[in-house]
Amino acid sequence: MEVLNKLYEMTAFGAIGEDPLTLVMLALALFLLYLGIGKRFEPLLLVPIAFGVLLANFPGGHMSVTPSTEIIEHMTILEIAKEHGIMNMLYYMLIKTGLLPPLIFMGVGAMTDFGPMLRNLKLAFFGAAAQIGIFTVLISAVALGFSLKEAAALGIIGGADGPTAIYTAIKLAPHLLGPIAIAAYSYMALVPVIIPLVVKYTISEKELKINMKEQDKLYPSKVKIKDLHRTKIIFPIVLCAIVSILVPSSVPLVGMLLFGNLIKEIGSDTNRLMVAASETIMNAATIFLGLTVGATMTAATFLDKTTLLIILGGFIAFAISIFGGIMAVKVHNLFSKKKINPLIGATGLSAVPMASRVANDIALKYDSKNHLLQYAMSSNISGVIGSAVAAGVLISFLS
């Protein structure tokens, strides 16, 4: 009998029943796994996050992230691994230091083509307008009782950029990292639902039929690119200099994005670096980011009113950002002969290239010849820069 008792104590059966909220978290983990695997919602990130939640909430495994305290912050990595387990070691080494989001940005840069943006530079402005959701939700969150730092971390979900949202949360409100990451990636996965929803109530059929190529023929651009390859090599260097001087706090993100892009554009001479950045490093960083962020989500830290407000606030931030981009195009069309399809504004979010693909599909529904993917990519890519700059502003003012 004593042996059976010891065997029972060795397992986690007893501990699971002790806290029913743990069961809620395990159910949430399974639901997220279903969304990632079954529904294919951002599986590359949602699957590691969901599995991180699962690992963290199985009692006795010591795989949950211990909230930061002064004692932990003064421990060495070896001491953290010994006393709090390897998940905490990974968290404090890779997440708390803010290392992984810039590494992911480097990979994103190595997979991004600035060509569409350079060909349609004017459209980059709409990437700025689509950041309005970040700041309006920041104000609303403050009114609801969040601190300025927490509100800023919440608002940045409106930028629709997972690594940027995580980076900002790490810097300003690390205790909200789990819900913010989940909200950011869930809404990014729901871009094909959210953009059509906002478009339905804000853009008329006539506007949706504005054909960008026809407008280009009627009002051709004055600037023609003769050597796109050389331009694309110099562009990230120039852009990095501008951003570094004006918003230095956004350099960890924007700088790494532009470095990744540079090694892509150089071509065969740096091909191995590009492959490492966009595949090896990016994939490893994504795994560790997902698992550790998931491991921050325990019943004690996740199941409260704040999480619900973050999920709701994130959605509103997302919708307002799309609305802001659309309205900016509408205002432009009031004063310009050359009309722009407001769908271009809706892609001012970062979610690259999904937002552009969704906008393209909507345009094709109304006019089968209206392919606006290349145009949408311009504001979409500038949205990545815009949200990283917005994050830089928030971090430099609030941290």
Partner 1 sequence: MESTLGNALVLLAIGMITVFLILALVVISGNILIKIVNKYAPEPTKKLTRASRSATGTAPEVIAAITAVVETVTGGHGKVERINKIDK
Task: Mark the segment that binds partner 1 (CB under 8 A) among 33-41, 102-110, 146-154, 176-184.
Answer: 146-154
Considering the rule CB under 8 A, would residue 376 count as an interface residue with partner 1? Answer: no
Considering the rule CB under 8 A, would residue 227 count as an interface residue with partner 1? Answer: yes
Query: Residue 75 CB, nearest distance to partner 1 (Å)?
Result: 34
Question: Is 205 or 227 the residue whose CB approaches partner 1 more closely?
Answer: 227
Cis peptide before 248 (omega within 30 of 0): no
Question: Is 182 or 316 the residue whose CB approaches partner 1 more closely?
Answer: 316
- What x-and-dash track marks residues 270-309 binding partner 1 by CB under 8 A? -xx-------------------------------------
Q: Where are the alpha helices (DSSP H) in 144-281?
A: 148-155, 162-172, 177-189, 191-202, 205-208, 212-218, 228-246, 251-266, 271-275
Considering the rule CB under 8 A, would residue 393 count as an interface residue with partner 1? Answer: yes
Task: Mark the segment that binds partner 1 (CB under 8 A) among 204-212, 238-246, 286-294, 296-304.
Answer: 238-246
Q: Between vectors from CA 166 to CA 71 and to CA 161, what angle results, nearest 5°?
A: 175
Query: Residue 385 CB, nearest distance to partner 1 (Å)?
Result: 7
Separation CA 242–CA 20 (nearest Å): 53
Considering the rule CB under 8 A, would residue 244 count as an interface residue with partner 1? Answer: no
Closest CA to 300 of 41, 56, 36: 56
Task: Mark the segment that binds partner 1 (CB under 8 A) among 20-28, 167-175, 206-214, 221-229.
Answer: 221-229
43 in Cβ contact with 36 (< 8 Å): yes
The 10 Å Cβ neighbour count of residue 69 is 9
Burial class (CB in 10 A: 0-12, 13-18, 19+), 39: exposed
Written as six digits, the tokens of 260 are 């990744």
Question: Is 51 or 146 the residue whose CB approaches partner 1 more closely?
Answer: 146
89 in Cβ contact with 80 (< 8 Å): yes
Query: Residue 359 CB, nearest distance to partner 1 (Å)?
Result: 19
160 in Cβ contact with 321 (< 8 Å): yes
Chain positions contacting partner 1, by CB under 8 A: 117-118, 121-122, 124-125, 127-128, 131-132, 134-136, 138-139, 142-143, 147-148, 151-152, 223-227, 229-231, 234-235, 238-239, 242-243, 246-247, 267-269, 271-272, 382, 385-386, 389-390, 393-394, 397-398
